[in-house]
Amino acid sequence: MTETVQKDTYSAALIIIGNEILSGRTQDTNTMWIAERLTDRGIVLGQVRVIPDIEEEIIETVNSVRKKFDYVFTTGGIGPTHDDITAESIAKAFGVELEQNERAFQMLEEHYGLAELTEPRIKMSMIPVGARLIPNPVTAAPGFIVENVHVMAGVPRIMQAMLDHVLGMIEAGKPIMSNTIACSLAESTVAKDLSELQAQFPKLQMGSYPHYRGGVLGLSLVIRGTSKEDLEGATEQLLDIIRKHGDEPRALSIRTVEEQH
Amino acid sequence: MTETVQKDTYSAALIIIGNEILSGRTQDTNTMWIAERLTDRGIVLGQVRVIPDIEEEIIETVNSVRKKFDYVFTTGGIGPTHDDITAESIAKAFGVELEQNERAFQMLEEHYGLAELTEPRIKMSMIPVGARLIPNPVTAAPGFIVENVHVMAGVPRIMQAMLDHVLGMIEAGKPIMSNTIACSLAESTVAKDLSELQAQFPKLQMGSYPHYRGGVLGLSLVIRGTSKEDLEGATEQLLDIIRKHGDEPRALSIRTVEEQH
Could you give all domains of chain A from N- to C-terminal order, each with its CATH number? 10-167 (3.40.980.10), 177-255 (3.30.70.260)
State in Å, rounded, how far the first CA of chain A is from the last one: 27
Q: B140 at the A interface (CB within 8 A)?
A: no
Complex-level ipTM: 0.91
Decide if pLDDT at B63 tops 80.
yes
Smallest CA-to-CA distance from B17 within B57, B55, B50, B65 is with: B50
Separation of CA A252 from chain center = 25
Nearest-angstrom CA–CA distance, A175 and B118: 38
Nearest-angstrom CA–CA distance, A149 and A92: 13
**Residue in A17, A167, A188 to test binding to B, most B beta-carbons within 10 Å:** A188
Per-residue pLDDT of chain A (261 residues; tens, 9 = 90+): 444 566 889 999 999 999 999 999 999 999 999 999 999 999 999 999 999 999 999 999 999 999 999 999 999 999 999 999 999 999 999 999 999 999 999 999 999 999 999 999 999 999 999 999 999 999 899 999 999 999 999 999 999 999 999 999 999 999 999 999 999 999 999 999 999 999 999 999 999 998 877 778 889 999 999 999 999 999 999 999 999 999 998 766 666 544 333
User: What per-residue confidence (pLDDT) applies to A161?
Assistant: 97
Residues of A (231-260) whose Cβ lies below 8 Å from B: none
Smallest CA-to-CA distance from B70 within B103, B86, B102, B47 is with: B47
Decide if pLDDT at B20 tops 70.
yes
Q: A208 at the B interface (CB within 8 A)?
A: yes
Q: A117 at the B interface (CB within 8 A)?
A: no
**Neighbouring C-alpha atoms within 13 Å toward the C-beta of A103:** 13
Per-residue pLDDT tens over the stretch B101-127? 999 999 999 999 999 999 999 999 999
Sign for the pseudo-dihedral over CA of B227, B232, B233, B234: positive
Nearest-angstrom CA–CA distance, A211 and A194: 18
How much is the CA Rg of chain B, to the nearest whole Å? 22
Average pLDDT, chain B: 92
User: What per-residue confidence (pLDDT) applies to A258?
Assistant: 41
User: What per-residue confidence (pLDDT) applies to B2?
Assistant: 47
- Taking an 8 Å cut-off on Cβ atoms, the answer to whether B34 and A50 are in contact is no
The residues with which A253 forms a beta bridge, in sequence order, are A180
The answer to whether the CB of B187 falls within 8 A of the CB of B210 is: yes
Q: Give the global pTM.
A: 0.92
Sign for the pseudo-dihedral over CA of B242, B243, B247, B248: positive
Per-residue pLDDT tens over the stretch B160-187? 999 999 999 999 999 999 999 999 999 9
Residues of B (39-98) whose Cβ lies below 8 Å from A: 39, 44-53, 57, 79-83
Q: Please report, rounded to a whole number, the percentage of residues in chain B having pLDDT higher than 70.
A: 93
- Taking an 8 Å cut-off on Cβ atoms, the answer to whether A48 and B22 are in contact is yes
- Taking an 8 Å cut-off on Cβ atoms, the answer to whether B81 and A38 are in contact is no
Around Cβ B115, how many Cβ atoms within 10 Å?
Answer: 7
Separation of CA A133 from chain center = 19
Nearest-angstrom CA–CA distance, A57 and A15: 11
Q: A194 at the B interface (CB within 8 A)?
A: yes
Residues whose CB is less than 8 angstroms from the CB of residue B34 and which lie 6 or more positions away in sequence, other chains included: A24, B14, B45, B73, B75, B159, B163
Nearest-angstrom CA–CA distance, B141 and B138: 8
**Residue in B29, B69, B82 to test binding to A, most A beta-carbons within 10 Å:** B82
Which residues on chain A are in Cβ contact (under 8 Å) with B180?
Answer: 25
Averaged pLDDT, B27-34: 96
Per-residue pLDDT tens over the stretch B207-258? 999 887 777 888 999 999 999 999 999 999 999 999 999 999 876 666 654 4
- Taking an 8 Å cut-off on Cβ atoms, the answer to whether B155 and A224 are in contact is no
Sign for the pseudo-dihedral over CA of A13, A19, A20, A23: positive
- Taking an 8 Å cut-off on Cβ atoms, the answer to whether A31 and B49 are in contact is no
Ranges of H-type helices in B84-220: 86-94, 102-112, 119-123, 156-167, 187-200
**Residue in A40, A50, A192, A253 to test binding to B, most B beta-carbons within 10 Å:** A50
Nearest-5° angle of CA A160, CA A166, CA A169? Answer: 150
User: What per-residue confidence (pLDDT) applies to B214?
Assistant: 77
Nearest to A79 among B47, B187, B222 (CB): B187
- Taking an 8 Å cut-off on Cβ atoms, the answer to whether A155 and B210 are in contact is yes
How much is the CA Rg of chain A, to the nearest whole Å? 22
User: What per-residue confidence (pLDDT) applies to B211?
Assistant: 84
Decide if pLDDT at B6 tops 80.
no
Nearest-angstrom CA–CA distance, B261 and B255: 10
The answer to whether the CB of B103 falls within 8 A of the CB of B127 is: no
